[in-house]
Structure 1
Amino acid sequence: MKRKIGWAVITILVLVYALFPVLSILMNSFKSSGDFTEGGQFLPRTWSTENYQMIFFGDAKDLFLPALRNSLGITLIATVIAVVLATLCAYAVARLDFPGKRIVLGAALAISIFPVISIVTPLFNLWRQIGLYDTWLGLIIPYLSLTLPISIYTLSAFFQQIPWELEQAAQVDGATPFQAFRKVIVPLALPGVFTTAIIAFFIAWNDFVYGISLTSTSAARPVPAALAFFTGASQFEEPAGAISAAAIIVTIPVVIIVMLFQRQIVSGLTQGAVKG
C-alpha cells in the first residue's frame, strides 16, 4: 500500500512538473495586454480571446498562417521521406551481413546528437549559392539530417525482432525478396514504423535553428521561427499573449496525435525495447 501511494505521489509530481509550463502558457494566451503590464498574476483578470483573434484575423495573421502552412507541409514531407528511407536502410542493417554495419548504426546515432548550430553557417552560405535558401526544399533536406539518423537507429531495432524464418517461408512460397519485405515484414513492423514516424514528425515540427537561419520571408518560414518575429501593438508592449496563443495552436496537433495513437506509440516503443 505504501509503495502504491509513493508511486502515486511521484506520478503526480512529475505530471505537475511537466504540465505546469503548458498550463502557464495557456493562461497567458487568454490574458489581455493590461494583465501583462501589471504582472504577477497566474490567472487572467479578464478572460479574453484577443490574442487568438490577433493571430487568425488581426495584425499577426500574415505572419502566423503562412508559417503554420509551411510547418505542416515541410514537416509532413520530411517525415514521409525519412520514414521510407529509414525503413529500407534499417531493414538492410537488420537483415544483411556486410562490413561496416556497426559503423552505420554508430554514425546514425552520432549524427542524431550532433549539434545543429555548428553546421548552420556553412549550410546558409551553400543554400544561398545554389538557390535553396528560403525554400521548402531548403528546409526539408536539413530536416532529413535530424529525422533520418534517429529513424534508422530506431527502426533497425524493430526489424531485428521479426523472425527471419517468416521471410524465408514467404520466399519458399514463391514471393520475391521485395514482395516478402512488402507483404510480410512491413506489416509486422508497422507499430515501429508508426512510432518512428511520430518521433520524426515531432523533431521536424519543433525545429527552430534551421527555421530561423535558412529562411527570411513567409515563403518557407515555419512557426517556431515565425514566433520570434511577433511584435506587440506598440514598441513598448511585449507580444507575450500572441506568442502564447500561437504556441498553444501549434501544440494542438501534437496532443491530438498522441491522444489518438497512444496505444500504437506505446506498443511500438515497447517492441523496440525488448530483444528477442
Structure 2
Amino acid sequence: MKLFSITVTYLTLFVAFQAFSATVNEPVSTSIIDKSNAINLPSQYEMIGGFRSYNDSGRYTQIEKDKEARTFKSQNDFFLGARVINSWGLYLMTTQTLSNFNNSTKDKWVKADSSITLVHPLWYQGDQWKVSGAFRQYLPTSDYSKQFNAHQTAFYVALTGYSDRWNYFNILIPRYFSKDNTQPADTTYYLEDRSTISQNLNSWFRLGFGQWSQIEAHYDSPTGSCIEIYPYVDFVLNKTTFISTRFSFPIHANGKVFDGPPLASKDFGYTEVFLETTL
C-alpha cells in the first residue's frame, strides 16, 4: 500500500509536468485567496477553481524508531466557485486524505471536512503589495465530525508582495473549534502564520525560504506552540501550475500542536512535495 501511494503521487506529478510543460513570463502566487488565475465568464463573473496536493513524508526519526509512526500523508483539495470580478466570491472545497504508517493495518483513505469560503474584495492593492482576506466555514462531512458534532471556522488575512524577481507572501489564520463531549486536550483556538520569500531565477524556476508558526489552545491542558522553517524549490510549469519541493524542520516546539514534532530538532524534519493547478 505504501509503495502504491508513493507511486501514484509521483505519477501524478509526472503527468502534470508532461501536460503543463510550457514556460511562463511571470511567477505564480501560492495564495489561496487572491490569485486564482481565474477564467473569465461572460458578464462580470469569473471562475475560481483548482486542485492542490500536499504529499508529506513522516518525520525522519519517528519513521526509524516508532513502529506506529506515520510514514506518508497525502492531502488533496478540490475547489470550485465564482466571484464578481474585483469583488466578492464564493467557492466550495472537498478534501481527501491518504495516510500510511509503519503499522500498515492503520493505513487509511478518508474524506475530510468539506468547506465553503467567502472571498473578500481586496482590502488594499498597490504597485507591489496587496492585502486580501477570506472567511471559511468547514462542514461536518467527515466521520469524526459527524460522530462528535465537530465544527471549525477560519479567517484568512493575506499580504502579498511582488517585483520582477522577488515574491513575498504572508498569511495569518485564526481558527475556532467546537464539538460535543470535549476532552482536556481538544483544541479550542488555533492561530497559524505562514510566510515565504522567494526569488525567480528564470521563468520556470525559483528558490525560496519559508516558516510555519502555530499556537494551539486546548479546553483544559497547556497551550502548545511550534515554529518550523523550510527552504524550497518551485518548478513553474505554466501560469496556473507549479510543483514545489520543501524540506521542513522545527526550531521551536512546546506542547501539543497540529501535526507537530515532540522536539525542536532537525531529526524531526520531513519532506513535502506540493502540486497546485488552478483554472
TM value normalised by structure 2: 0.26
Bigger proportion of residues as helix: 1
Kindly name which structure, 1 or 2, has the bigger radius of gyration based on alpha carbons.
1
Bigger proportion of residues as strand: 2
